[in-house]
Each structure stands twice: as structure tokens, then as C-alpha cells.
């Protein structure tokens, strides 16, 4: 029989005569949470050396991205850009190539903007202050809390989706976790009860439980949770109802026709506008709507071309989804247009194409 771990012995028994209030319940999490985390924390590359720069890069990468997907990107990024000065001076195309595949490219641009700002201010390092961190581009209350607590040991909360879910279930809250007022109140409650000397493990423990026990999709693994004895959602059978989220608006659908234009062993790409969706990234030429072959040739203004249909593809963004059809078009001469003609090797090593086009990129690589 497996020995009971220490956190099993630390499960809190709620007094029958008086139900714990919110902050008492949160305070009761401390000992089992810390004990559980020290025993069950996953080995992750950014945890080995929780230096401010490494924590910052990992937290930005982890936004909207799975942990397993981030690992190789983080290690490659650290090797290429090991410090803030390296990040500040890297050419944007090189930075976006390092970020290629992670998506949400504004995150990478904000990283560089912050690094440039810190170098310009002759600081060269992230400030050891929650309030000062929040003033930097791309750093909100969660990321500031994560850097401050994990890298500097400052006792401030780091409330992300995982923490919102765990704390809502523990406290039995049916408030909408997508409301900023709910998040702010949770931050206040956690700050009031979190241990001053173990803020790093406390925040990481809550995030870890949300990631691998009180999971975002599917049923929570309550039998493995160190907080089970004080979790109202578990006790009252409400884990299917909590957390509460406002339903998302339906995404807008857009039709696109993507062209892989080849001429003399090179393929055409172009740079998107500096603002809007996928700003400043390279893309394959494309047009609105689903065009047939004759319409495409007319649009390109060419007659000498061999056209091969490609598989349809779909890409989902947060508020819009692209429904794409594609064509490989082999040209006798280059058409007019602001295109950059590159080799397949150039695409592999130099130019960053967003994941929206991966169904077509892989046909080249």
C-alpha cells in the first residue's frame, strides 16, 4: 500500500458548528497546498533557475499555450537570447522567427519593447516591484504577480485562469470569473492570507493544482487534490457548475483563397500591415472570398500559369476563423505586386509565417 504523503495528514477539517468564511477557507489551504506542491511540482526548465528574465519569458510564452508546447521554444529562446540586452537588440524578423508557432505574436513584440525600454533607462533588468512591473508593456497583474513572487519572493498573488478555477471551486463562488471585478477581489483575498515567506511556492502550487488536478477540461481529479476537504464545490457536488463563465460570442467566419506562387524555384510571400491581426508578419498572398482559377489568374494579371488545387484548411483565432482554400500556382513570369520571392530554405530559417498558414507551409517544408 502506498504511504500517505504529508499533505494527506494536513487536510483541514472544517468545524461543524461554524462554516469558514472566504478568507478563513483560503487561509486553510496554505499548509496542504505548500506540502503538496513541494512533492508534486513538475520539473520544468524555467523552474530550475527562477531568475527574473527566465520567469518573465516563460510566463509570456505560457499565455494561451500549453506547457508541453512551450518547453522547446523556451529552451531555444534562452539559447538565442540569454538576457535582456540580447532581446533588446535582436532584429524583429529574427525574434518573430524564434516565436514562430507560438502564436499571439504581439506577446513577442511587447517583450522586445520592454527590453528596449529597460536598456534605454539604463536599468537592464526587471524591477523588483509588483507596481513597477505592471507599468511595463505586455505585463498585466498576473504576469507581474508571477515575476514578483517567483523571482523576487514578493508576497503578491498571481491569478490566472487556473487560480480562478481552483479558488472559485474551493470557495463555492458562482460569480463570473471573466469579470475583472471578480478577479480583483480574488487577488485581494489571496494577498490577505498568503504566506509572506513562501509566496513563490504558494502561487505556483495553486497554478499547478489548476493545471494537473482541478483541470480546465473534463472532471476535476478531486481524489488527488490536497484541498478536497475544504472545497465547497466538491462537498456540494458543484464542480460541474463552477467556475461560472460568460458564454463567448460566436466567432466571425471569413473565407480566404491562399496562393502559393512559384516562379523559377522561389515562392512569393509578403508582409502584413503594421496594425491589426497578425501585424507585421509574413504571409502567403491571399484574397478575400473563395475564388476559382480563372478569377485568380485575372486577379494576378497573368495567363501563363499551371494551377493545382490544394486541400482546404481552417484556422481559429479568438474572435474570427478563416476558412481557406488554396492553390499552387507555377508562373512563367512574376506578376505585379509587392511580393518577396524566397527559397524554401529561406522560409525554414529566416522568415516567420504564422500558424494560420501551417497547412500550406508544411506543403513546402
Q: Which residues are catalytic?
A: 59
For residue 164, give the nearest of 139, 189, 147, 140 by alpha carbon: 189
Q: Are 248 and 231 in contact (CB under 8 A)?
A: no
Quickly list DSSP for 264-286.
Answer: TTEEEEEEPPSSSTTTT-EE--E
Q: Rounded to whole angstroms, how far apart are CA atoms 53 and 139? A: 13
Instruction: Kindly give, in sequence order, each residue whose CB lies less than 8 Å from that of residue 97, ignoring residues fewer than 6 positions away.
Output: 349, 350, 351, 352
Distance of alpha carbon 178 from alpha carbon 182, whole angstroms = 8
Helix (H) or strand (E) holding 218: none
DSSP notation for 69-99: HHHHHHHHHHHH--SHHHHHHS-HHHHHHHH
Amino acid at each position: 500500500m502506498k504511504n500517505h504523503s504529508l499533505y494527506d495528514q494536513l487536510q483541514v477539517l472544517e468545524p461543524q458548528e461554524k462554516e469558514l468564511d472566504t478568507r478563513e477557507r483560503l487561509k486553510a489551504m496554505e499548509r496542504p497546498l505548500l506540502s503538496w506542491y513541494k512533492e508534486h511540482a513538475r520539473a520544468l526548465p524555467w523552474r530550475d533557475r527562477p531568475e527574473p528574465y527566465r520567469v518573465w519569458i516563460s510566463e509570456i510564452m505560457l499565455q494561451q499555450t500549453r506547457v508541453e508546447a512551450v518547453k522547446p521554444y523556451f529552451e531555444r529562446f534562452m539559447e538565442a537570447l540569454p538576457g535582456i540586452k540580447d532581446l533588446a537588440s535582436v532584429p524583429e524578423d529574427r525574434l518573430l522567427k524564434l516565436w514562430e508557432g507560438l502564436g499571439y505574436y504581439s506577446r513577442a513584440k511587447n517583450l522586445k519593447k520592454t527590453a528596449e525600454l529597460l536598456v534605454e533607462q539604463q536599468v537592464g533588468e526587471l524591477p523588483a516591484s509588483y507596481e513597477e512591473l505592471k507599468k511595463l508593456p505586455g505585463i498585466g497583474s498576473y504576469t507581474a504577480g508571477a515575476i514578483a513572487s517567483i523571482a523576487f519572493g514578493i508576497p503578491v498573488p498571481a491569478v490566472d485562469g487556473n487560480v480562478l478555477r481552483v479558488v472559485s471551486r474551493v470557495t463555492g463562488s458562482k460569480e463570473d470569473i471573466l469579470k475583472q471585478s471578480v478577479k480583483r477581489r480574488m487577488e485581494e483575498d489571496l494577498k490577505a492570507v498568503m504566506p509572506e515567506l513562501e509566496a513563490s511556492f504558494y502561487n505556483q502550487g495553486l497554478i499547478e493544482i489548476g493545471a494537473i488536478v482541478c483541470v480546465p477540461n473534463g472532471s476535476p481529479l478531486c481524489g488527488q487534490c490536497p484541498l478536497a476537504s475544504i472545497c465547497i464545490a466538491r462537498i456540494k457536488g458543484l464542480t460541474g457548475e463552477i467556475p461560472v463563465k460568460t458564454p463567448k460570442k460566436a466567432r466571425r467566419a471569413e473565407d480566404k483563397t491562399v496562393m502559393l506562387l512559384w516562379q523559377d524555384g522561389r515562392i512569393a510571400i509578403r508582409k502584413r500591415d503594421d496594425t491589426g491581426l497578425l501585424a507585421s508578419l509574413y504571409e502567403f498572398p491571399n484574397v478575400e472570398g473563395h475564388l476559382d482559377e480563372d478569377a485568380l489568374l485575372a486577379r494576378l494579371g497573368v495567363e501563363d500559369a499551371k494551377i493545382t488545387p490544394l486541400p482546404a484548411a481552417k484556422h481559429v483565432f479568438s474572435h474570427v476563423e478563416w476558412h481557406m482554400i488554396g492553390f499552387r500556382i507555377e508562373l512563367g513570369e512574376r506578376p505585379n505586386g509587392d511580393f518577396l520571392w524566397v527559397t524554401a530554405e529561406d522560409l525554414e530559417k529566416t522568415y516567420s509565417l504564422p500558424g494560420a498558414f501551417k497547412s500550406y507551409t508544411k506543403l513546402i517544408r
